[in-house]
Amino acid sequence: MSTDTRMDIEQILEYLPHRYPFLLVDRVLSCAPGKDIVALKNVTINEPFFSGHFPHYKVMPGVLIIEAMAQAAAILSFKTTNTKSDDKSVYYFVGIDKARFKKPVIAGDQLILKVAAVRNMRGLWKFSAVAEVDGQVAAEAEILCTMRTL
């Protein structure tokens, strides 16, 4: 396994089933399978949620920031297990703990997603996740996910 893996959008699409407008990871800056991942999401004014979520102050919804962290976590899980997303399985959220929102994420920001694997027990993954903008924490959470066969 590689200890440092960069991924462009085409490679990300091989690992995540999400597509526009719900794909929330644009690039992977580094990935150490079994350990952690650093990814980014460019938050642009043409995001579909901006027209209805505080139209007078373009704020990315907190639930989508959590979803972006979960998508980065899913890539880390797939890279760790040397698998890819397919049409026979789904990667689900099963819990979000200690979620905190510290700074609004607005149009034009670059969201840096830092996710670390805490443990994997019987297919239940626990991650520690932080989303930053300009080096400041925008959101953080503990995320629980699992893979289910359809």
Active site (catalytic) residues: 53
> Which H or E element spans position 27?
strand 27-32
- In degrees rounded to 5, what are phi and psi of residue 68? -60, -40
Which residues 6+ apart lie within 8 Å of 56 measured at CB? none
- In degrees rounded to 5, what are phi and psi of residue 136? -110, 140
Q: How far is CA 55 from the centre of its chain?
A: 24
Tokens representing 5 are 């893996």
Residue 110 DSSP class: E
- Nearest CA to 64 among 123, 119, 7, 106? 106
